[in-house]
Amino acid sequence: MIRTSRHLADGREILYFDDDRDPAPREAVDTRDLPAVVTRSQLRFDPLLAEWVVVAAHRQTRTFLPPADQCPLCPSRPGRPTEIPEGDYQVVVFENRFPSLATDVARDVAPAVRGNPLAELRPGFGRCEVVCFTSDHDRDFARLGAERARLVVDVWAERTAALSALPGVRQVFCFENHGEEIGVTLSHPHGQIYAYPFVPPRVEKMLASVRRHREETGGGLFADVVTAERSGSRVVAANEHWTAFVPAAARWPYEVQLFPTRRVPALPALTGAERNAFVEVYLDVLGRFAHLFDTPMPYIASWNQAPVTDGRDDWWLHLQLFSLRRAPGLLKYLAGSESGMGAFITDTNPEDVAEQLRAVVLP
């Protein structure tokens, strides 16, 4: 993999990643007249839930559902410069123009929110990156092909390592939102990477469960779950290195988790063989999501990696793939119980979901 670093007109970094078997010079210059990026993010601590909330009110003006011929993630063309100055590319990563977190935010903030000394206040430090999987506007991840998908995996791993090395970063989160129903505002195939200055609630809760399980049973929770699911009825696809299964207590109507056979804390620790094997299983599952109903499934693909420092010896890397579609033309809304109390009520049976996905005939 060849990595080329350049800068956009407003100073943001852009990184080109190319297969080393097909190198290309990356020398195009961003000709746009862009104002400097201004980030006013704050972190506010909720003392009742013991969770951090990112306040990023400046993002209200971000790009929203532009027509395809005005897509800012497509390659630049004569007379129409975009976020990517080159006329073509393989995989590109750049700093988000409307970031929730940034490295250059003001550090001099009050210790607490005005009027509530228990609501601790911190700068909105971190980094938010956009990952464009392909220059082809209409080619989603399920149709990238094995070689390009493997390049994306390598990019995720490289960015995880690079962002983890930033002082103050405690968690790196790679994810993809796919489909307008999910809230995607740019239809070009892309994902994002967040470098958080805190450990998110989901990870903290899982680590607490791992520690409790060890105290109560002496065993490893992740290992026990993976061992049980690999031989169960909820497996959707598997190979030597990965297993994709519907979790026994799935929260979402259609949810699949992908676990490597070998415990590793994060993407950079995967071997070449394990990365190839992931691509095989992941593209298989995405194909099943795309062809289960008459239209492709909207989804969120969420990498669950170990924190930068905490709990790495306990963590087991995995990817959570889920959709809020519960039937053709019908969505699962997070209403009173889910949104108000955090208590999920599912509309589907996990064993039935696994059977439906296995039964999909892939083209």
Q: Please, which pLDDT band fits residue 33 given cuts at 50, 70 and 90?
A: very high
Q: Please, which pLDDT band fits residue 38 given cuts at 50, 70 and 90?
A: confident
**Set 190, 213, 241, 318: catalytic member:** 190
Same domain? For 349 and 247 the reply is yes
Same domain? For 136 and 171 the reply is yes
pLDDT at 64 over 80: no
pLDDT digit string, tens, across residues 157-174: 999 999 999 999 999 999
pLDDT digit string, tens, across residues 289-320: 999 999 999 999 999 999 999 999 999 999 99
Same domain? For 14 and 98 the reply is yes
According to the model, what pLDDT value does residue 21 have?
83
| Boundary of a domain, candidates 169, 200, 231 | 200
Q: What is the mean pLDDT of the chain?
A: 95
Same domain? For 29 and 78 the reply is yes
| Boundary of a domain, candidates 200, 234, 268 | 200
pLDDT at 22 over 80: no
Q: How many domains does the chain have?
A: 2
pLDDT at 63 over 70: no
pTM over 0.75, yes/no: yes
According to the model, what pLDDT value does residue 62 have?
64
The stretch 327-349 carries a mean pLDDT of: 95
Same domain? For 137 and 22 the reply is yes
3-state secondary structure the chain: CEEEEEECCCCCEEEEEECCCCCCCCCCCCCCCCCCCCCCCEEEEECCCCEEEEECHHHHHCCCCCCHHHCCCCECECCECCCECCCCCCEEEEECCCCCCECCCCCCCCCEECCEEEEEEEECECEEEEEECCCCCCCCHHHCCHHHHHHHHHHHHHHHHHHHCCCCCCEEEEEEEECHHHCCCCCCCEEEEEEECCCCHHHHHHHHHHHHHHHHHCCCHHHHHHHHHHCCCCEEEECCCEEEECCCCCCCCEEEEEEECCCCCCHHHCCHHHHHHHHHHHHHHHHHHHHCCCCCCCEEEEEECCCCCCCCCCCCCEEEEEECEEECCEECCCCHHHHHHCCCCCCCCHHHHHHHHHHCCCC
Same domain? For 209 and 327 the reply is yes
Full domain range(s) for residue 133: 2-200
What CATH number is associated with residue 128? 3.30.428.10
pLDDT digit string, tens, across residues 190-199: 999 999 999 9
Same domain? For 31 and 140 the reply is yes
Same domain? For 59 and 107 the reply is yes
Same domain? For 234 and 291 the reply is yes
pLDDT digit string, tens, across residues 226-281: 999 998 999 999 999 999 999 999 999 999 999 999 999 999 999 999 999 999 99
Same domain? For 287 and 185 the reply is no
Q: Is 190 a catalytic residue?
A: yes
Same domain? For 156 and 228 the reply is no
Same domain? For 24 and 47 the reply is yes
